[in-house]
Amino acid sequence: MTKDNANKTSADKINSLLLHNRIMALMAHTTRYAFQGETRLAHDAGVSKSAVCRLLNGQSSPSFALVVSITKALEKRLGCPLDPRDLISLDGCYPTASACELAGCRGCLPPEAYDKHNCLRPEYKDVKPGQWCVSPRSFSPGDESLGQEQEGR
């Protein structure tokens, strides 16, 4: 253990954690955030674009104020109440398993599942609608363990 690690308090360790989030999965369920989503979300939440970008890219551990501001902006666009614990997680587990369920969607596929001709990409042929946004962990199309992981909770 280095001297720096020995001097870290438990609060420092918690604050240095990079959290799981599925904000982009919820943004994908709105028309407002389909184009210039980071900029628009930052504006709607009343925070800086850099704070939103760092959060979405997993480069920061957000403050409570940032999470609440983003939650309120998403609630307004989705037209339904959201629990911040459904957006941010320490371990990748959320109270509501699917972002589609949070957004009131009956199941969909992400925009990147389609090519420039709006045809489904081959790697998404076996992905069930709504499955892609169950977990913020790295999702590779055809990964059947993803849905089973959440069903066993």
Mean predicted confidence (pLDDT) in 80-106: 87
The proportion of the chain whose per-residue pLDDT surpasses 90, expressed as a percent, equals 35
Report pLDDT digits (tens) over 43-68: 999 999 999 999 998 888 889 999 99
What ranges make up the beta strands (E) of the chain?
20-21, 88-89
Q: 147: pLDDT confidence band, cut at 50, 70 and 90? A: very low
Q: What is the predicted pLDDT for the residue at 153? A: 33
Mean pLDDT score of the chain? 78
Mean predicted confidence (pLDDT) in 3-26: 67
pLDDT over threshold 60, residue 38: yes
**For the chain, which residues make up each domain, given as ranges?**
3-151
Q: DSSP string covering 30-53, please?
A: -STTSSSHHHHHHHHHTS-HHHHH
pLDDT over threshold 90, residue 69: yes
Q: Which of 149, 21, 144, 151 is nearest to 92 (CA)?
A: 21
